[in-house]
Structure 1
Amino acid sequence: MNDLASAAAAEAAPADAGFSRMRRYYCLLILTLVATMSTLDRQIMNILLEPIRKELGLSDTQMGLLTGLAFAFVYATLCIPAARIADRWSRRKMVALAITSYSIMTIFCGMARNGLQLFVARFGVGVGEACGNSSGHALVGDLFPRRERATAMTVLMLSSPVGMALGLAFGGWALQEYGWRMAFILVGIPGLLLGPLVFFTIPEIDKGMADGVRHAPPAQPFLQTLKAMWSTRAFPYMIFGATITAMAAMGAMTWLPAFLARSHGMDHAAIGAALGASLGVGSIIGHIIGGPIIDWLGRRDLRWHLWVPMITNPVAAVLAAIAFLAPLDYVFPLLAVQMLLQGLFTAPMIAIVMNLAPVAARATASAILGFVMNIVGLGLGPQIIGIASDLLKPSFGEESLRYALLGSTALGLVGAVLYFRASLSYRADIATVDARNRAEALGS
């Protein structure tokens, strides 16, 4: 059977008829709310960065460490072990535990009295989020078949721009009204309500349910799972492309409020409202149309799953570069379009990982992606830009951050090359995965 015929056969595998569509979308809604709070808890730090830096007397390099590695190191260290536990135990319970724990640690961020205490609290936020994100991705992968998976992931990943917009807008308002400490406390409270909702209202979902797998195999040893993922030739190139792109995007996202305050003289309430609106709207539109577009194109040629980011990444990088140099009136429209282009691939990227992963190790596969993206993207992105800004400060003064951000945009071109390389073997890799899933659906 050729590649396209294999793919078509897999598309025909029905989801479990005993699990109603309404029930699926209820689970998806709750998981999306959880993921929104995860993003909000993480992103609110960006709008609070400048007042925290000034009050605690920290440098840009130290703030880069606080916003990046303090979260990313622990997230990357724990996300794979947590996913392994979820694959063997209960993904639903892991999500409930995660949102409760990182909401508590977000509240503790508002109680910090010095840089070390805030570092420890952010460390704790990373611990909580490490436990939950990959489990949520795996649950959606098991709820929806591949023909609908990118669209379902689009709904889930809307949490990212919505959480980001809320973090910036609400954070800017709360900062202006109550100060940065109370802002942390206020955003931590809703998560304490969502944890019990997940635990008591979302049922256990069989692994591979939407792929027609009746007898999902037990979770493989980690090295065996890693070998299976790495043997699909598209997977490493896709992961490295996403990671390089994330390093530039997450680094820029962290420092944008500080850039607007220093280079354009905006106050934090105005920054939060303007960034929340422009980045939020652009990213939400990208997320909404990205999954359906890629699902539609993928039904014609699976390689479009990777050709889309190959095309959009360089364009987004150029728009970001122009925004960092443009007058203020042009900055927000340019960033909105740039975020729209970046948002096109956010949900499909997770769907691709679910497509390529063994059904019994989907949380682990998502965690592998999260490990690489967070340790390099979220960990090193803000840190490198912070270091570059400090190094450029003797020459450019307060404008040093502008040029540090400008230099980071070149990474978008590197990501495009890696996505193209991943597309060369993607159809053959999907055919191999489909054959494996058909064998598991028959219980062999």
Structure 2
Amino acid sequence: MTTGEGYAPGYTPLRAWWAVLVIVLFQIVSLIDRTVIAVLIPEMRADLGLNDFQLSLIQGMAFALFYGAMGLVIGGLVDRWSRRGIMFAGITLWSLAAAATGLARNYAQLFGARLLVGFGEGAISPAAQSLLSGIFPRHRLATPMSCFVAAGVAGIGLSFALGGFLLDHFTRSPLGGPLEGLAPWRQVLVVTGLPGVLIGLLAFSFREPARASVQGAGAGWGVFFAHLRRHARLIGGMMGGYLLAAMATQGTMIWAPTYARRVLDMGATEVGAMMGLAVTLGGIVGGLSMGLLVDRLFGRGIRDAALRLYFWMLLLAPPLVALGILAGSAQVMFLAILLLMLTVGASFGPALTAVQMVSPPEMRGRFGALAVLVSNLGGLALGPMLIGGLTDYVFADPDRIGWSITLSLVVLGAAAAALIAWARPAYSERMREM
């Protein structure tokens, strides 16, 4: 039950938005630790003797295996235990593991460290979604949820800019002390990973909101899977659409820096600055705008506004982005990435909100984790693997990586739009039930 303007008991708008600010900071830190290696790929490739497919596993599958699988398990804990405590434990683990990635001496160690990063980061999204859904009323939920997603985008953008800057800086002026003798790319990973250990303490700076349902302890996994079967079209269509959309968009984001450096002959700092600006500007401006728009449309009675918006963005934007990447111009590529983030990337916050809208309160952690599982399985594992595989085994030419990116964008974007359209009638029916 909520009080006042619909916020959780004990929460004012100011306190609610402080919680959003802390959660946003955690999301930024998580995306920096997750994504910064995208700028370091050429150095890692040369140092450890890896190919593009192996690197796609490190960027994606190694992380997504534990992030997704353990995220669903953690989602069950989120529905029962302290969400603040779970977030604190997660950020501590992933920060230490991210720093350890820079100390890995072979492929197995690198893979193992990325597994642990994924394990720790599996806590952030289900806990954050459950907290925000418990703090904010439904007609105001899309905006804070979009802030959460936009923070991830800002983290990606910051990771590109920070990673490129630090790589060039440590190449010119390597760190001494405990990090003396480490390759510059390794120093970048250690320096960006460790601060999260202290930042995690902010989890205890806001109140744990009361559970939305006193039945939470009774909603076991059997009830959860029965709900999945009962709403197969709704959940299958939404999650399938999220999976394919993430494959298209995140695969593009992960491999775009390598394309820019390998094919367009750009430097690390230049690529980092370009990607950072495009991703951050598009994600924040687009994300907040989309959240406000969906909240306004929802208030006017358009209860499936989030899915409508996601459908049109998936249908229209990917072909235009693909053309921009194939143009062979750094400036046009910048505009293409900006467009991708202003449209498809910015619509994912409302898409997550749509999941929370139709989830039983006692299962919000698990359904939030399920949405994150499929989006990260697609975005961090299957999407990068597809592009790396196309480059190595279909086009058989590292310089054709731009064609791999654009092919995945066009085909997967259209398929994702079709699945979202298939789920919309079931979504509208479920909204009428709640």
1:305 deviates by 1.8
The match for 2:188 among 183, 187, 208 is 183
Provide the rounded CA distance (Å) in 2 between the counterparts of 1:341 and 1:367.
23
Q: Does 2:384 correspond to 1:352?
A: no
The Cα of 1:307 is off from its aligned counterpart by 1.0
For residues 354-382 of structure 1, the C-alpha deviation after alignment (integer angstroms, 9 at most, x for no partner) is 11111122111111112222223321111
Aligned to 2:176: none
Residue pairs, 1:28-47, within 5 angstroms: 28-47=20-39
How many Å apart are 1:13 and its aligned residue? Answer: 8.6
Partner residue in 2 for 1:441: none
Instruction: Tell me how far apart the structure 2 counterparts of residues 342 and 255 of structure 1 sit (CA, whole Å).
Output: 17
Q: Distance in 2 between matches of 1:15 and 1:265?
A: 51
Aligned residue for 2:217, secondary structure, equals coil
Equivalent of 1:103 in 91, 95, 113: 95
Q: Determine the structure 1 residue equivalent to 2:199.
A: 194
SS of the aligned residue for 2:303 comes to: coil
- CA apart distance, 1:131: 2.3
Summarize deviations over 1:161-191 as a string: whole Å, max 9, x none: 1101110000000111112111111111221
Which secondary structure state, in structure 2, belongs to the residue aligned with residue 264 of structure 1? coil
Q: Does 1:206 align with 2:210?
A: yes
Q: Report what 1:439 is aligned to.
A: none
| Structure 2 partner of 1:88 | 80
The alpha-carbon deviation at position 29 of structure 1 amounts to 0.8
Instruction: Tell me how far 1:234 sits from its aligned partner.
Output: 2.4
Cα shift readout 1:40-70 (whole Å, capped 9, x = no counterpart):
1101111111211111110111111111110
User: Is 1:425 equivalent to 2:430 in the alignment?
Assistant: no
Q: Which amino acid aligns with 2:53?
A: T
- Write the distance in 1 (CA, Å) between the matches of 2:216 and 2:420: 31
Q: Which residues in structure 2 correspond to 1:133-172 (within 5 Å)?
A: 133-172=125-164
Gaps of 5+ in 1: 1-9, 435-444
1:240: Cα distance to partner? Answer: 0.8
In the aligned structure 2, how far is the partner of 1:431 from the partner of 1:116?
Answer: 50
Q: Which residue in the other structure is 1:309 paired with?
A: 310
- Which residue of the partner structure matches residue 380 of structure 1? 382
Distance 2:218 2:368 in 1: 14
State the 1:17 CA deviation: 4.8
Which position in structure 1 is the counterpart of 2:332?
330
1:341 deviates by 0.5
Q: 2:49 matched to which residue of 1? A: 57
Amino acid at match of 2:156: M
Pair 1:225-2:224 in alignment? yes
**Distance in 1 (alpha carbons) for counterparts of 2:9 and 2:128:** 22
Q: Which amino acid aligns with 1:222?
A: W
**1:86-127 deviation line (CA, Å, top 9, x unaligned):** 212211110010001100001101111222211111111011
DSSP 3-state at the match of 1:425: helix
Task: Report the secondary structure of 2:195's partner residue.
Answer: helix
Q: In 1, are the aligned partners of 2:126 and 2:369 still within 8 Å (CA)?
A: yes
Q: Is the 8 A contact 1:244 1:411 kept in 2?
A: yes
Instruction: Work out whether residues 154 and 279 of structure 2, in 8 Å CA contact, stay in contact via their aligned partners in 1.
Output: no
Query: Matched residue pairs, number?
Result: 416
Name the SS of the counterpart of 1:266 in structure 2: coil
Q: Are the counterparts in 2 of residues 279 and 335 from structure 1 also a CA contact under 8 Å?
A: yes
Distance 1:111 1:54, change over 3 A: same
Contact 2:131–2:209 (CA under 8 A) maintained in structure 1? yes
Range that drifts further, 378-387 or 99-108: 378-387
Helix, strand or coil: the match of 2:141? helix
Q: Which residue number corresponds to residue 260 of structure 1?
A: 260
Secondary structure, counterpart of 1:278 in structure 2: helix
Q: Name the aligned partner's letter for residue 403 of structure 1.
A: W
The 3 A distance-change label for structure 1 pair 413 and 339 is same
C-alpha offsets along residues 376-399 of structure 1, whole Å, 9 cap, x if unaligned? 3321111111111001454xx332
Secondary structure of the residue aligned to 1:88 is coil
Aligned partners of 1:112 and 1:317: how far apart in 2? 36
Aligned residue for 1:437? none
Contact 1:229 1:357 in 2 (8 A): no
Indicate whether 1:275 and 2:275 are aligned: yes
**Equivalent position SS for 1:218:** helix
Q: How many angstroms does 1:219 deviate by? A: 4.5
Is the contact between residue 14 and residue 145 of structure 1 (CA under 8 Å) also seen in structure 2? yes
What is the TM-score normalised by the length of structure 2? 0.92
Q: Distance in 2 between matches of 1:116 and 1:137?
A: 33
How far has the Cα of 1:216 moved from its partner? 4.7
The equivalent position to 2:366 in structure 1, one of 361, 364, 369, is 364
106-115 vs 373-382, which moves further: 373-382
Does residue 390 (structure 1) correspond to residue 392 (structure 2)? The answer is: yes
| Other structure's SS at 1:158 match | helix
Q: Is the partner of 1:193 in helix, strand or coil?
A: helix
Q: What amino acid is aligned across from residue 199 of structure 2 in structure 1?
A: L
Shift of 1:38: 0.8
Q: Does the CA-based 8 Å contact 1:390-1:400 persist in structure 2? A: no
- Following the alignment from structure 1 to structure 2, what is the Cα–Cα distance between the partners of residues 207 and 17? 10
